[in-house]
Chains A and B, each alone.
Chain A
Amino acid sequence: MEFDSVFLSRMLTSLTLGFHIIFATIGVGVPVMISIAEYIGIKKNDPYYILLARRWARGFTITVAVGVVTGTSIGLQLSLLWPSFMKIAGQAISLPLFMETFAFFFEAIFLSIYLYTWDRFKKPIYHWLLSIPVVIGSSASAFFITTVNAFMNTPQGFELANGIITKLDPLKAMFNPATPTKTFHVLTSSYLTSAMILAAITAFAMIRGKRGVYEQKALKLTMVATLLFAAGTALAGDLSAKFLAKKQPEKLAAAEWHFETEKGADLILFGTLDKNTHNISNEIRIPKALSFLAGNSFETEVIGLDQIPKEEQPPLWIHYLFDLMVLIGFFTLFIAAVYLLLLKWKKGNPHNKPLLWAIVASGPLSMLAIEIGWIFAEVGRQPWILRGYMKVTNGATTANNVGSMLILFILLYIALATISSIVLNKMFKKKPAEVELNERYAHMISK
């Protein structure tokens, strides 16, 4: 079977991005958790929390390395695979791209300093202060790069004629209608996923019998963080849906199988679709909820696919992605709430096996939700690469060798994924937390 460059370029881009966002998400969220843990540790003079920050930071070095190299890949691949697109977009969005690298630079410098100065300061709070620029840098780079993606969804701030951009307003392009909800959603969901993954690792250790003070404190901290970030993510998701209803109705309509424009539109959960008749069966239908989601009133009019030209409609399978992402989001919120209730309730046992297993599961599930959410967001704006301006087919490279490059990158990512998992695993098995605690902080525990 022959594939054309457009298809192969899409595959290679999704592969690189799909692989990168695993590490990028960790890269944005874990510094926040490290910083919080170290701060609590210093304020309470509690060695457990400091050790927590230290061990997280150590594992973080591996994920950062993979994040940096895959980030470099996607940065350059934009030009290698989408030269015509970058020729246009380069004129309009190079400012946030440029600022993203600044933020990344800033983060890289302070992360290096942070990692190598644990015992160099007399006052531990000075070392903690170094984590602030790391958090600012990683979140700022997520913010800037997301504005670029937001621009591709709702381009504005320029006029385009014959491939030449005129009347450009860089700030208007950067702060386009999609920017607030998208960046908010990306940041909260990254924090949430990172907290959840750290919680999952701890819960897994507990299942395997390590139930010391270290693990209990780790789980409590990560679950409180999970609850807060999950609430933030839910709010961001709600705002995103309202944004879509207003500015990108075709994405919401395809996600909800909403064919006819109407007031009091129903929300459809799950179900199957007959491709020809557009009949939906096996669904759970919540009356008028879509209208409420779109505009906070059961009578809001929601634009349906009937108002979108056929060749500009996104594929209808994104409905499943949307459902799954939302479902996982609420699952993590629920798990965190149950854990904290059991912790508060005197007779409760927050460390029971079923709950621990649920926490273990929600780590990978959250990462899955990130992947699914991004696929939903990206496929949901098909066939556009620059919505309303340029279709994907016109942006791809005309070079012939994309297929062999795709194979090379598949091999690379398989190798990186395998080896980084082995290295991370070995890193923590070599020296368990209690051993390290006794080596480093014996004087603090005994008193």
Chain B
Amino acid sequence: MSTEILGITVLWLFLYGYVIVASIDFGAGFFAYYGKRTKKDHIINHIISRYLSPVWEVTNVFFVFFFVGLVGFFPDTAYYYGTALLVPGSIALILLAIRGSFYAFGNYGYKDNKLFLFLYGATGLLIPASLSMALTISEGGFIEIRGDQVVLLMKELFLSPYAWSVVFLAIVSVLFISASFLTYYADRANDIEAKQLIRKFALTWSGPTILASLFVFISLRAHNLRHFENAIDLWWMFALSFIFFVGAVYLIYKKKAYGTAFIFVMLQFFFAFFGYGASHLPYLLDPFITIYSGYTNETMGIALIIAFIAGLFLLIPSLFMLMRLFLFDAEYVKGRK
């Protein structure tokens, strides 16, 4: 495997990690707010906050990791994306800042403050929407070079069916991933009421998720035929993704093996995400940057990969410890610790 491919695979893996952990977090924020509004907060909110408190900061790091790594492996992306994404990027940053800090304000300072909870819930849906913008513009057609300026074509972006289908997919998958995880978590905690409610959320959002994926496919065909045809060549990955989706929904519907169901959801998104990523290659930004044209110095690429492997030796045991203490410790989950 060439170092370019290795580099982008590593980064994609991290983005996938972020998609999963952040979805749980974003969706949980929304459900917590929804619970408050519909006066069901006494049922679900303690479950949500028990899970979120120890992990919200870690979630954020996955994201930082991805963009620092991207600029490191492919410095050209800093130039094109950096210039084009000034406005959407800044807005996403402000939303992230509001979300992160108000979580802490709400949780450690003002318990149950409605405004804080609202900001936390609302940003949970707006952030995926604004971050998915970067994926949309990577398909090409939304950036123009004028002289030495890189210009984002806001109007085209706003009127593009493809852009909207991606935003829609981002939001509904956040809700689906989150609900299927929280169902499992509530089940571990033996909290029957919470489980019933969140299970309903999971089933509700499963349909829109698969519909939105279809929309993305159809509109991709109109927007970027090359990418679409590459994706068709990798049909088996999307087929696997669909099979895992069906399996997950079946298990949740039949009220059994919620843990396995959530693993199926993770696999569903794993195959869809990697199928999407692989068919996108070699372009990082169609048609300006490919993984070959934008690759950093070979020396730096290798140094980064070594640092990455060394870092994993540190991170995996630590993450494992975090999960053992807070996710898989039945006593903690049940609220006895």
Interface residues of A (CB under 8 A from B): 58, 61-62, 64-66, 68-73, 75-84, 86-92, 94-95, 97-102, 104-106, 108-113, 115-117, 120, 133, 165-166, 168-171, 397-399, 401-402, 405, 408-409, 412, 416, 419-420, 422-424, 426-427
Contacts and interface: CB of A to CB of B under 8 A. Distances in A.
B101 A69 contact: yes
B58 A105 contact: yes
Contacts of B108: 58, 61-62, 423, 427
A88 B71 CA distance: 10
B254 to A, nearest CB: 34
A86 B73 CA distance: 12
A90 B295 CA distance: 11
Interface of B: 53-55, 57-58, 60-61, 63-65, 67-69, 71-73, 75-76, 78-87, 89-91, 93-94, 96-101, 103-105, 108-110, 148-150, 296-297, 299-300, 303-304, 307-308, 311, 314-315, 318-319, 321-322, 325-326, 337
A171 B300 CA distance: 10
Contacts of A115: 54
A91 B297 contact: yes
Nearest to B97: A69
Contact of B97 (A72, A91, A165): A72
Given A68-B57, A95-B72, A397-B82, A80 B297 contact: no
A94 B71 contact: yes
A113 B300 contact: no
A82 B101 CA distance: 26
B85 A98 contact: no
A99 B299 CA distance: 16
Contact of A83 (B79, B99, B326): B79
Nearest to B86: A399
A73 B318 contact: no
Nearest to A169: B299
A65 B64 contact: no
A279 to B, nearest CB: 44
A87 B318 contact: no
B103 to A, nearest CB: 7
Contacts of B79: 83-84, 86-87
B71 A90 contact: yes
A86 B280 CA distance: 24
Contacts of A61: 104, 108
A97 B75 CA distance: 13
Contacts of B326: 112, 116
Contacts of A412: 94, 97-98
Contacts of B308: 98
B314 A106 contact: yes
B86 A405 contact: yes
Contacts of A116: 53-54, 325-326
B75 A94 contact: yes
Contact of B60 (A68, A98, A168, A422): A68
Nearest to B337: A120
B307 A102 contact: yes
B54 A112 contact: yes
B322 A102 contact: no
Contact of A110 (B72, B98, B318): B318
B109 A398 contact: no
B101 A108 contact: no
A78 B86 CA distance: 11
